[in-house]
Amino acid sequence: MVFGSQHADFLVGPPPNLDLLPVYHRLGLRILQPTYNERNVFADGCGERSNGGLSRLGLELVERMNRLRMLFDCSHLGVQDTLDGCEYSDFPVATHSNARSLCDNVRNRTDEEIHAIAEKGGVIGVVAFPSFVKWTKMEQGERPTIEDVLDHIDYISDLVGVEHVGIGLDLIEGWPLERHRLLDRRPDIWGRPTPQGTYDYPEGLDSIDKLPNLAKGLIARGYSDREIRKILGENWLRVFRKAWGE
């Protein structure tokens, strides 16, 4: 198990106190995003209208993360923030994002971002949340399939190489309906819920026990055993070992 946080608001204060970061690191934190969709003192999230990039404090946060050999996660960041992170971070990744060229959602990464992550040796973890895979009429009961998820793996592999693709499904099971209702505030990101008020994951990959279907799908698409091992985990292990050692 690896601890990660999808925002750095616990360092904001007032006043901001980056000296707390080593404390969280000692408690096990190894992956950190500066912000989650919205703007904070470190960065602009992907859900903001602006695309300002990392602030001066955000750049200082990256510098301190580098000292601790922490992974810089850009999954919920704006485009310029991702590019800044890739420039200044030693270990940039996208733990759970897809290719925006296939699904035009701000939560997904542009080709430029994918190239920037790959050039630093990072990995893009393909995500299964429905509106990040493919826009469908969820409110009418439509949803993507595992084939649509595999399309993102194909796309990123073709763009930057299979060495930079991983799995980051963001699979959440057993959420109470009240938690689902938090998402319908931003249909431009999360899409609209099903008639039952839920956000159903792709057919064939809607439960953790369906995970073997990914391997079967990769085999059917002609990936070699070595390539499949890389996608299913070895690529992430490479990044982890580079950052943290054995």
* pLDDT tens digits along 220-230: 999 999 999 99
Q: Looking at residue 127, which CATH number applies to its domain?
A: 3.20.20.140
Residue 24 resides in a domain: yes
Share of the chain above pLDDT 70, in %: 100
Which pLDDT does position 189 carry in this prediction?
96
CB within 8 A of 233, min separation 6: which ones? 166, 167
Structural domain contains residue 165:
yes
**Is residue 14 over pLDDT 90?**
no
**How big is the chain by its Cα radius of gyration, in Å?**
18
Residue 246 in this model has a pLDDT that exceeds 80: no
On whether residue 182 sits in a domain, the answer given is no
The pLDDT of residue 78 is above 90: yes
pLDDT, average across residues 51-59? 96
101 located within any domain: yes
At residue 66, the pLDDT reads 98
Domain membership of residue 72 (yes or no) is yes
Within a domain: 201: no
Does position 125 have pLDDT exceeding 80, yes or no? yes
Instruction: Give 83's pLDDT tier (boundaries 50, 70, 90).
Output: very high
| pLDDT of 16 | 87
Torsion of CA 173, 177, 178, 183, to 10 degrees: 70
For 180-206, the pLDDT digits (tens) are: 888 988 999 999 999 988 999 999 999
pLDDT grade for 87, boundaries at 50, 70 and 90: very high
pTM of model > 0.85: yes
Structure tokens at 199: 């956000």
Average pLDDT, whole number, for the chain?
Answer: 96
Q: In the chain, how many domains are there?
A: 1
User: What is the extent of the structural domain holding 128?
Assistant: 3-134+146-174+225-244
pLDDT at 182: 85
* Spatial contact of 125 and 94, defined as CB atoms under 8 Å apart: yes
Question: For residue 138, which of 185, 182, 187, 207 has the smallest C-alpha distance?
Answer: 187
- pLDDT value at residue 240: 98
In a domain, 123, yes or no: yes
User: Going by DSSP bridges, is the β-strand pair 92-93/71-73 parallel, antiparallel, or unpaired?
Assistant: parallel
User: Is 90 exceeded by the pLDDT of residue 174?
Assistant: no
Structural domain contains residue 216: no
Q: What pLDDT is stored for residue 180 in this prediction?
A: 82
